Amino acid sequence: MRLSGPAAPQGVGVPRPEHALPVARPPRTDAGHSWWWLGVHGGAGVSTLERAVPGGRDAGRAWPVSPASPAASVVLVARSSAHGVRAAQSAARQWASGMVTGVDLLGLVVVADAPGRRPRALRDLVRLVSGAVPRLWEIPWVEPWRLGESPLTHLPGECAPLARDLTRLTRTA
């Protein structure tokens, strides 16, 4: 695991995004999870990741901020489509500009939106956005997931390092 971008918001000088995700109290505050999955757009893949990589909870498409608790560990989730990666870029800008406080952004998970090699324009966009978040993880296309099969029976190898990294990051936090 390596850092791909800043570990903390930069604040001054980072333009605010045109579209910002809401900030809300976490949907549930039980102790059964270590981080929040924040889907930056509908269909990002949060519910699948929640089942495939135990330890996270769906934040309900809002930054999970609670003034009464320590910083919430958050992982952004987006599909690898242009729409998804731009939504991730907007969320990263929201965090980097200081619009969201009380959050420890762990990184971004990009879930493939189609089988095969990603077009160059999208590869370049993902690379650009990865420079705005602390870490980047990529999950490949899994056809059985599209067909509604359990993520646990068709787990790509990329889920193991993601789980290991998130467990290590939230254990030391």
73 Cβ contact partners less than 8 Å away, ≥ 6 residues apart? 34, 35, 36, 104, 106, 169, 170, 173
**pLDDT confidence of residue 82:** 97
Mean pLDDT score, 23-47: 85
Intra-chain end-to-end CA distance of the chain, in Å: 16
Q: Which residue do the tokens 């993902």 mark?
A: 126
Is the overall model pTM greater than 0.75, yes or no? yes
Instruction: Kindly report the number of other CB atoms within 10 A of residue 137's CB atom.
Output: 24
Ranges assigned E (strand) in 44-100: 56-58, 63-64, 72-79
Which tokens belong to 171? 């254990």
Which tokens belong to 46? 């949060």
Residue 25 pLDDT exceeds 90: no
> Tens of pLDDT along 103-143?
999 999 999 999 999 999 999 999 999 999 999 999 999 99
Residue 151 pLDDT exceeds 80: yes
Mean pLDDT score of the chain: 90
Mean pLDDT score, 158-172: 92
> Tens of pLDDT along 60-107?
999 998 776 788 999 999 999 999 999 999 999 999 999 998 899 999
**pLDDT confidence of residue 32:** 67
**Radius of gyration, CA atoms only, the chain:** 15
